Amino acid sequence: MKALLIAEYKDGEILGSYAELIGFAGRLGAESAMFLVGNKDNLPQYDGRLYLADVASCGEFDPDGHKQLLLETIEKENPDVIVFSHSSYGWDLAPRIAFAVGAAQVSEVVEIVDGNYIVPACNAKLQRTVKSGTEKCVITLQAGAFSLPDDPTGTPEVIEMNCSPAARVEFSGYEQAEQGGVDLSKSEIIVSAGRGIGKPENVTLIADLAEALGGDYGASRPVVDSEWVEHNRQVGTTGQSVAPKLYMACGISGAIQHLAGMKKSDFIVAINTDKDAPIGEVADVLVVADLKQFVPLLTEKIKSL
């Protein structure tokens, strides 16, 4: 078994997620090689062959160019499995590679059992076991599913590659998230509103509870996308990462991207009408209740303590 691991580089830096790819190859018992469009001065700690193309000449985002480089690498290495992170880079590039090499793609792998891949479905309420019907297989890994206990070690044997930018699309730079406003990462108590609040007026229920507890309020993404709450209060992969003493998730289902931003909280309380909501997997206490009734009651009781 041979694996090709696709490391990522963004905004001048190699991303630490490459360690999870190594963790996965270890789990498979596979021999591996790594691929990176990056920089010689910023190499992964890795004990193996690294196919390296220079980001300055190849561009950080050029799907056609990166695809070409990867196909050359695949030709040299002939891997059985081509492994990406389930990230913006991975889900952009993985299907292009799968199509080019005629391989099946399995997205968001969380586990391997007897050579089959386990992937979540329906907001992690179900779990599918899937099998690749092609010789080669492209997969993307759910963040955190194959973490290594320690930092990887080793110095890679670098094989330099040259690219010819294809650029049917033009990448003209990054925009950082708006700064300022609330810095939830410093809050000790956070009460967050999810789509279950139903309408914008109900944000006050959540804000009032947060105030009664002496904390701040946050929100899940749909609440922010609907502009009920400003973006700098969003918790999750594309929002803030928080680790308060107490996190209360009100009307939040517990999608992986939300969990990624809050599961390091010391104590997690979820309030949800659905007893089976995936948030129950990380919650210390799941209160099965309608938040519109429960939250104001709780706020009153706390105020009168």
Q: Say which entry of other proteins, ligand FAD, none residue 252 contacts (CB below 5 to 8 A, set by partner kind).
A: ligand FAD
All residues at 6 or more sequence positions from 280 whose CB lies less than 8 Å from its CB, including other chains: 254, 270, 272, 286
> At its nearest, how many Å lie between ligand FAD and the CB of residue 143?
11
DSSP for 81-111 reads EEEEESSHHHHHHHHHHHHHHT-EEEEEE-E
Question: What backbone phi and psi angles, to 5 degrees, belong to 267?
Answer: -135, 125
Q: Say which entry of other proteins, ligand FAD, none residue 220 contacts (CB below 5 to 8 A, set by partner kind).
A: ligand FAD
Distance between CA atoms of 36 and 9, rounded to whole angstroms? 7
Distance between CA atoms of 253 and 194, rounded to whole angstroms? 8
> At its nearest, how many Å lie between other proteins and the CB of residue 161?
22
Question: What backbone phi and psi angles, to 5 degrees, belong to 240?
Answer: -95, 150
Dihedral sign for Cα atoms in the order 28, 31, 36, 41: positive
Longest dimension (CA), the chain: 70
Binding site for ligand FAD (CB under 6 A): 194-196, 220-222, 234-239, 251-253, 255, 257-258, 261, 271-274, 277, 290-292
For other proteins, what does the binding mask look like between residues 69 and 108, x meaning CB under 8 A?
-----------------xxx--xx-xxx-xxx--xxxxxx
Single-letter residue type at 132: S
Would you say 281 or 290 has its CB closer to ligand FAD? 290
Question: What backbone phi and psi angles, to 5 degrees, belong to 46?
Answer: -160, 135
Question: What angle is formed at CA 120 by the lines to CA 284 and CA 62, rounded to 5 degrees?
Answer: 115
End-to-end CA distance of the chain: 62
Would you say 103 or 191 has its CB closer to ligand FAD? 191
Residue among 153, 161, 192 at smallest CA distance from 291:
192
Q: Say which entry of ligand FAD, other proteins, none residue 194 contacts (CB below 5 to 8 A, set by partner kind).
A: ligand FAD
Residue 187 found at the interface with other proteins (CB under 8 A):
no
Residue 301 found at the interface with other proteins (CB under 8 A):
yes
> Of the listed pieces 21-29, 41-49, 148-156, 162-170, which binds other proteins according to CB under 8 A?
162-170
Report whether 69 contacts 43 (CB < 8 A): no
Would you say 156 or 222 has its CB closer to other proteins? 222
> Of the listed pieces 19-27, 50-58, 60-68, 147-155, which binds other proteins according to CB under 8 A?
60-68
Applying the rule CB under 8 A, the residues between 210 and 249 that interact with other proteins are 213, 221-222, 224-227, 231, 234, 237-239, 245-246
Would you say 11 or 150 has its CB closer to other proteins? 11
Distance between CA atoms of 101 and 139, rounded to whole angstroms? 13
Would you say 183 or 266 has its CB closer to other proteins? 266
Q: Find the residue with minimal CB distance to ligand FAD.
A: 236
Q: How many CA atoms lie within 13 A of 169 on its CB side?
A: 11
Question: What backbone phi and psi angles, to 5 degrees, belong to 40?
Answer: -60, -30
> At its nearest, how many Å lie between other proteins and the CB of residue 13?
12
Would you say 158 or 297 has its CB closer to other proteins? 297
> Of the listed pieces 19-27, 44-52, 151-159, 175-183, which binds other proteins according to CB under 8 A?
175-183
Q: Say which entry of ligand FAD, other proteins, none residue 206 contacts (CB below 5 to 8 A, set by partner kind).
A: none
Q: Say which entry of ligand FAD, other proteins, none residue 52 contacts (CB below 5 to 8 A, set by partner kind).
A: none
